[in-house]
Amino acid sequence: MASLKLPYLATAALSGALFGAGLYVSQMVDPLKVLHFLDFTAIPSGGWDPSLAFVMVPAVIVMFIAVRLGKRRQAPLFDTAFHEPEYKRIDKRLVGGAALFGIGWGMAGICPGPAISLIAFVPDNLWIFLVTMLIGSLAGSLVIPSGHSKRLVDAQ
């Protein structure tokens, strides 16, 4: 199985390491920074911090180039196929799920990447967020029809 070979795992490790460094350097790991970015009510007073808008743009550009490069190849370097999501429909599940996530993100200023990244600092209450995030994820998989789930799972 490709996913247990050394180059495959080394790639996963390199990607994870770059991701962790990026989350720290960009300050996405700081929930207060994130909340100040999401706080549009502070725009009139000049207190809004737009910094994190500058995270998404280069990230998308770099990945866009990678996707273009990938299209020239039959397969990635260490696996037999690109695991691209097959499901294309925009449905209630997508919108509802994104909305629920939006509430959670706006409440704590923590999205899944920084939730993991923050483990490095051992903050007091982080475990609560991590455990409930896993419970929420498990609960979510119960309400998704299995056929739908299967098509999406391979893509993740």
Partner 1 sequence: MESFTPLTAALGGSLIGLATAVLWLGNGRIAGISGIFGQLLPPAQTVVWRLVFLVALVLATFVTAKLFPGLGVGGVEPARLVEAPASWGVPTPVWLGIAGLLTGLGTKIGNGCTSGHGVCGLARLSVRSLVAVAVFFGVAIITVAVTGVV
Q: What is the footprint of partner 1 within residues 93-112 (CB under 8 A)?
A: 93-112
Least separation, in Å, of the C-beta of 147 and partner 1? 14
For 148, half-sphere exposure in the C-beta direction (CA atoms, 13 angstrom radius) is 11
Dihedral angle computed from the Cα positions of residues 91, 95, 96 and 97, in that order, rounded to the nearest 10 degrees: 100
Residues 57-76 that bind partner 1 (CB under 8 A): 57-67, 69-70, 75-76
Say which DSSP state 45 is in: T
Say which DSSP state 2 is in: G
- Residue 43 sits in the site that holds partner 1 (CB under 8 A): no
3-state SS record for 93-120: HHHHHHHHHHHHHHHHCCCHHHHHHHHH
Taken in order 60, 65, 71, 77, the sign of the CA dihedral is negative
CB-wise, 40 or 146, nearer to partner 1? 40
Size of the site for partner 1 (CB under 8 A): 126
- Which amino acid is it at 126? L
Residues 6-25 that bind partner 1 (CB under 8 A): 7-9, 11-25
CB-wise, 15 or 147, nearer to partner 1? 15
CB-wise, 61 or 147, nearer to partner 1? 61
Chain mean position to CA 52: 15
Euclidean distance between the first and the last CA atom of the chain, given in angstroms as a whole number: 17
CB-wise, 124 or 147, nearer to partner 1? 124
CB-wise, 90 or 146, nearer to partner 1? 90
Least separation, in Å, of the C-beta of 150 and partner 1? 12
Residues 110-149 that bind partner 1 (CB under 8 A): 110-113, 115-126, 128-141, 143-144
